[in-house]
Amino acid sequence: MELKDFSYEGLSSGHLACAGCGAALAMRLALKALGDKVRVVIPASCWSVIAGRHPDASLKVPMMHSTFEVAPSIATGMKAALRRLGTDHITVMVWAGDGATYDIGFGSLSAAAERNEDIIYVCYDNEAYMNTGVQRSSSTPQSAWTTTTPTGKLERKKDIITSMFAHRIPYIATVTLAYPEDFMHKFQKAQKIKGFRFILVLAPCPTGWRFEESRTVEISRLAVETGVFPLLEIENGIWKITVRPKMIEIGSYLKSQGRFQHADPEEWKRAVKDQWDFIEKFAGGQHGCDSAL
């Protein structure tokens, strides 16, 4: 694993996120990996608030806010302009929540991926519309409480990774906060690749998931160790599991969050098994385990 100096701090203290916000920590790690030659497009989401406004913005790199639907289109135009100006070395990154990615902006995301635009699309996935009061999205997991699913969501979470895989883009990865080296390594790798790159960040949200704000990283780790959130990458169609989970008891993840009070552990065990059966078929035994859990 190539590591470089991660001293760059692109996120200022005093930003507007809740205490313990996984999405804020995720941005900090992403910019440590990418450096300051980055332009960020942020569709409607918690990050529309976290970023603040000029001249008090929390990001030290240039950013543009957008509506839910058009961030990939704006990023496409931004990259074309940079190319025209002879500054093609600057990375353009969309930083979107799951509402913009899985639901409202999926059309423009799909179109930009199909055109293989030279941008990095990041979904910081907090598994609901947190900014507007914790409504369910198609990323919300089965049985999770939200204000629009008060007795638990009935449907399983949409599989966005397989959806993006179907677009035949050059690079797809999943990352989360408890594995910062894996996280930053994948962002660095994505930055060096040309074409459309998609990175899914599991970003625990103490407000919407109902846990104490000091437990964000611990819950991020539990998501991986229980097999709920696989850490993998897909490079030119080749699947690779980057961290092999211990598959500890699913109850430890469900009990860690108030949103799962209606969850059935047996149903979750089946869902996790289905997910891993599917991944193992694609991964074909390729495990680049940089860290064995």
Binding residues for ligand SF4 (CB under 6 A): 17-18, 21, 23, 46, 50, 126, 130-131, 205-208
CB of 21 to ligand SF4, least distance (A): 3
Least distance (Å) from ligand SF4 to the CB of residue 50?
A: 6
Q: How far is the CB of 49 from ligand SF4 (least distance, A)?
A: 7
Do 251 and 225 form a contact (C-beta atoms < 8 A)? no
Identify the DSSP state of 158.
P
Please say whether the beta carbons of 31 and 123 come within 8 A: no
Report the nearest approach of ligand SF4 to the CB of residue 209 (Å).
8
Cα–Cα separations (whole angstroms), residue 203 to 189, 193, 267, 276: 20, 24, 23, 21
* 47 vs 171, beta carbon nearer ligand SF4: 47
Q: E strands, 18-88, where? A: 38-43, 63-66
The candidate with the shortest Cα–Cα distance to 122, out of 186, 59, 62, 179, is 186
Task: Pick between residue 92 and residue 205 the one whose CB is nearest to ligand SF4.
Answer: 205
Dihedral sign for Cα atoms in the order 25, 28, 32, 34: positive
Residue whose token pair is 């030119």: 236
192's tokens: 């060096």
Based on CB atoms, which residue is closest to ligand SF4, 21 or 92? 21
Which CB, 10 or 227, lies closer to ligand SF4?
10
Comparing CB distances to ligand SF4, the nearer of 45 and 73 is 45
Q: How far is the CB of 5 from ligand SF4 (least distance, A)?
A: 28
Min. distance of Cβ 194 from ligand SF4 in angstroms? 31
- Tokens representing residue 209 in the block: 């998931």
Nearer to ligand SF4, 199 or 271 (CB): 199
Residue 151: Cβ within 10 Å count? 9
